[in-house]
Amino acid sequence: MNEALKNILTRRSVRRFENRPISRENLAQIAEAAIQAPSAMNRQLNQYTIVTDPAKIAKLAAAMGKELGRADYDLYKPAALILCTAPRESKFGREDCACAMENIFLAAHALGIGSVWINQLMNLCDAPGIREVLTELKVPADHLGWGTAALGYGPQESLGASKRTDAIVWAD
Ligand SMILES: Cc1cc2nc3c(=O)[nH]c(=O)nc-3n(C[C@H](O)[C@H](O)[C@H](O)COP(=O)(O)O)c2cc1C
């Protein structure tokens, strides 16, 4: 099978990560895939904030956990996070980030790195305790977090979790 298609068909979310860093080179390749994603009117308004310091990841997780009322919240303890954010006034920030997120997941998978989308920041990024941490992480103050990619080495969830083939409708 075509390698790119095989990569798409074999990607699955990973939610348990080894305590093993991802090389800067690999993270740069994944980030490059993000910036190559399509964006509405090619405005390229997203920022991709890469966080690898375990203390910074833990600090963000703790701030989110506090808002969520979940003391054990750990963002799955990934080796890295990529925060996909866009200016608040960007009409298509959510869509632009979604395209970039899938590129991130596919690039990571092609490099043997697992990933999963974490959604919670979307609703929490304006909570004061979280905005403070985002600012420390160099996320612009006017940006909304539309998607967070957690990345690391770990077991993929089963390909057996089947996809809905009836979602494909040929109207010829
Ligand atoms: C918009 C969106 C939000 C998601 N949010 C979360 C999340 O907060 N936590 C999580 O563990 N997985 C999250 N996921 C991952 C989905 O649960 C996962 O993609 C789905 O179960 C299909 O599994 P697969 O990725 O292995 O194909 C999200 C996926 C999308 C597209």
Atom of ligand 1 nearest to the CA of 119: 8
The reply to whether 161 falls in a domain is no
C-alpha torsion angle, residues 100, 166, 170, 109 (rounded to 10)? 30
| CA separation for the pair 124, 130 (Å, rounded) | 7
- Best residue among 117, 118, 157 to mutate for probing ligand 1's pocket (most ligand atoms within 8 Å of CB) is 117
Rounded to the nearest angstrom, the distance between the alpha carbon of 117 and the centre of ligand 1 is 5
Rounded to the nearest angstrom, the distance between the alpha carbon of 69 and the centre of ligand 1 is 21
CB-CB contact of 107 with 33 (8 Å): yes
The reply to whether 166 falls in a domain is no
The reply to whether 172 falls in a domain is no
Structural domain tally of the chain? 1
Helix (H) or strand (E) holding 24: helix 24-35
Print pLDDT tens along the chain (172 aa). 999 999 999 999 999 999 999 999 999 999 999 999 999 999 999 999 999 999 999 999 999 999 999 999 999 999 999 999 999 999 999 999 999 999 999 999 999 999 999 999 999 999 999 999 999 999 999 999 999 999 999 987 776 668 899 999 999 9
Domain of 59: which CATH number? 3.40.109.10
The reply to whether 3 falls in a domain is no
The reply to whether 115 falls in a domain is yes
The reply to whether 134 falls in a domain is yes
This model's pTM is above 0.95: yes
Domain carrying residue 55: 19-155
pLDDT at 35: 98
The reply to whether 168 falls in a domain is no
* Strands 114-118, 47-51: pairing kind: unpaired
- Best residue among 7, 10, 13 to mutate for probing ligand 1's pocket (most ligand atoms within 8 Å of CB) is 13
